[in-house]
Structure 1
């Protein structure tokens, strides 16, 4: 086994604080401002991919003053291992159509399987994530930060504050 294969996810981890998620989600909104197909570049609606896309979708909706917000629930992870992506809850069909004018937001694109599934349902939607890994990056239209494929991102909603031993011991 290679040294990297022995590594636990937190050993090559990227810890994202609430403040950082807020800043990066606002940066995503600024990048998307006036980029929609509607009059003046407006977006018809925002759809957050649950659960990770809920926080950035809410921030982007606030920043861009988009009042119509829906969700699509896709399960593609089981704890820290990837599984086959499946839709558990779809957004309003009348709203979605083929996705034109819809901004679909998620926290991260990893392998791209989740976005591939959602894109197959709404091919004309615009896909935006806060973070992107190389394998999934082709599935995203707009993102803010790229991280390496072997980096595990620790999002603030998955974390709790606790004491950590100093690097060089006590």
Structure 2
């Protein structure tokens, strides 16, 4: 890596099409993980979990969908994770029969907070990094810890200069 490049420039760019395929693959894996009565509810971890949760809910025909908002990042700097919005306690209880979906587990701090709030829930992410992988019950793709994932909702299409000039 050259000195003028930022550490997060070891990037994995995820398109909308790729995210859709990976979220459907997550749903496929989750079919066999559901309780005998099916998932009671799905809780998306906002904001990153909302798009994959929508796809998983559609694929698994889960109609009861809520959110939990956990703030742990300020742009690209991770801090202390804290819940700033909880799902309906009457629906999710302690998490039994509840599926929680997020886009990524990085260090696992966000999932530690969610697991403490909903200890019996099944946590699934589309992508997992090694430091947080043990916090998630189901995931699709592992990426290295030093890779920054660029999600489609964070990106815009624009021209980029080639490395060796035009």
Establish whether TM, by shorter chain, passes 0.5. yes
- Equivalent pairs counted in the alignment come to 166
TM-score of the pair, normalised by structure 1 = 0.93
Aligned counterpart, 1:15: 13
Aligned counterpart, 1:149: 145
2:128 matches 1:129: no
Deviation at 1:167, TM superposition (A): 2.7
After superposition, give the CA deviation of every residue in 1:104-153 in whole Å (9 maximum; x if it has no partner): 00000001000000001111100000000000000000000000000000
For structure 2, list consecutive stretches of 5 or more residues without a partner in the other structure. none
Tell me the SS of whatever aligns to 1:58: helix
Deviation at 1:11, TM superposition (A): 2.1
Q: Aligned equivalents of 2:141 and 2:156: distance in 1?
A: 23
Deviation at 1:168, TM superposition (A): 2.2
TM-score of the pair, normalised by structure 2 = 0.96
For structure 1, list consecutive stretches of 5 or more residues without a partner in the other structure. none
Instruction: Report the aligned-residue RMSD.
Output: 1.5
Tell me the SS of whatever aligns to 1:91: coil
User: Do the aligned partners of 1:38 and 1:44 also contact (CA within 8 Å) in 2?
Assistant: no
**Is the deviation greater in 96-105 or in 5-14?**
5-14
After superposition, give the CA deviation of every residue in 1:2-49 in whole Å (9 maximum; x if it has no partner): x6887414520000000000000000000001421132xx11110000
2:86 matches 1:90: yes
Q: Aligned equivalents of 1:4 and 1:77: distance in 2?
A: 26
